[in-house]
Every structure is written in C-alpha cells, then in structure tokens.
Amino acid sequence: MDVVDQWTGRAACLLQQAMRLTNEAFAERLGISERTISRWHAQPDMVHRTEVQQILDIAYEEAGPAVQRRFTLLTLPPQPVIETQALRVAIAVVARGDDVLLVCRRGDGVLRWQFPAGMVKPGTDPSTVAVQETHGETGVHVAVRQPLGERVHPVTGVVATYYLCDYLAGEPANLDPVENADVTWVPRTALTRFIPADQIYPPILKALEAAA
C-alpha cells in the first residue's frame, strides 16, 4: 500500500493499532503529546495539518512490511454479510379417512418410509411446496388443511415444516423412481411400523387422530 493520501484521526489510530503501541508509546514514537493522540481517538474524522501528515508518512514508511500489512488489512472496508438460509423442507402429512400417504425414499443404500416432502427454496412458500411436491412425487392432489409446526429433523438435521393435508384426488403412483422406491397408503394405526415413533413429529399423531 502507498502512503496514505490524507491522514485523518481514524487512519492515524489504525496505524497505532497496526504498530501495537499504547497512546503513550505512539506519542513518543511520533514526537507529539499523548493528549494529541487521545484527541485523534475522539475525533476520527479530523484531518491533520501538513506537518503532522509528514510525521505520519515517515512513521508509516519506517514501520516495516509487517506493520504495513496489518495497517492495510485494518483499513479495508468491512465485507458485506451474506445471509444464508438453513436447508429447509416442506412435509405433507396427507390424510384420507384412516389412511396416511407415505413414500419409500432411497438414500445411502437404505430404504426409508416417510411423508412426501420437498426442498423449499428461498422466497418460496413452504405450503405450496408441500402441495406441489406431493403431486409431483405421487400423483395425488392435496390441499393444506393446517400447519403443524416446525422443527429440526432428528435424522436429517434440516429444518422441517409440517402441514396436515386433505386428499382431493388421484391414485398414488411412484412418479419419482430415482428418489423413491414405492408410494402407498398405510393405516394410521400402523404408521409406527413404517416410521419409528421417536422420529415422528408429535403434533402429527395428534392431528391424525383428530382428522380420523
């Protein structure tokens, strides 16, 4: 980095920080009063007079490469904070009388039964994803009756948003054979034979009992 075009109170204090000097030591290094250094900290936008500009130029040039690199890093503008969204899925709990719609998902060489689900992209309504993904995976048309809540899934670690959905039309078929091995209706009373009870979001069981 070249010598600073115009030294301000802030720039001088950053040089002090890069040199790792106290106010007293920095004042002694520059040959000025410690009170002046304190004023620079209190007035970061102040522009130094010409003779002080020269003193700071010399201090910077004599500081050495290590200090100059630290000073350059300290003067860089802050990097923008990029907000990220946690991996999120929308899950449809589809009820038809006493039956519940399940898909048998392929993954890591293991087949697992679960409710129809789809990834939620930023800016997308999760309830819409639940409806669309259910139809896309199974051919079954559904409508959201009510949200059931949200949690971090205990197996996958993704943020899961659950919806109780009513069956409208269509016979279940495996329309995504790459992801799924099978699609079927199962009796609500037999649900824990397909999905371990400790992995089922508790509000699901309560909602299915009420919907029966």
Read off the pLDDT of residues 1-24 as tens digits, 9 standing for 90 and up: 456 888 999 999 999 999 999 999
Q: How many CB atoms lie within 10 A of CB 39?
A: 12
- Residues 188, 99: contact at Cβ < 8 Å? yes
This prediction's pTM? 0.61
Q: How deeply is 131 buried, as exposed, middle or buried, from its count of CB atoms within 10 A (0-12, 13-18, 19+)?
A: buried
For 162, residues 6+ apart whose C-beta sits below 8 A from its C-beta are 91, 93, 115, 147, 148, 149, 150, 201, 203, 204
- Residues 129, 119: contact at Cβ < 8 Å? yes
- Asked if pLDDT for residue 107 goes beyond 80, the answer is no
**Residue-wise burial string across 4-31, b where 16 or more C-beta atoms lie within 10 A, e elsewhere:** beebbbbbbbbbbebbebebeebbebbe
- Residues 90, 133: contact at Cβ < 8 Å? yes
- Residues 1, 11: contact at Cβ < 8 Å? no
Maximum C-alpha span of the chain:
88
Read off the pLDDT of residues 93-102 as tens digits, 9 standing for 90 and up: 999 999 999 9
Average pLDDT, the chain: 90
Read off the pLDDT of residues 114-138 as tens digits, 9 standing for 90 and up: 999 999 998 899 999 999 999 999 9
For 167, residues 6+ apart whose C-beta sits below 8 A from its C-beta are 94, 95, 96, 101, 140, 141, 142
Read off the pLDDT of residues 79-93 as tens digits, 9 standing for 90 and up: 665 555 678 999 999
Cα 143 from Cα 163, distance rounded (Å): 10
Place of tokens 């329309």: 175
Give the pLDDT confidence score for residue 173 in this predicted structure.
96
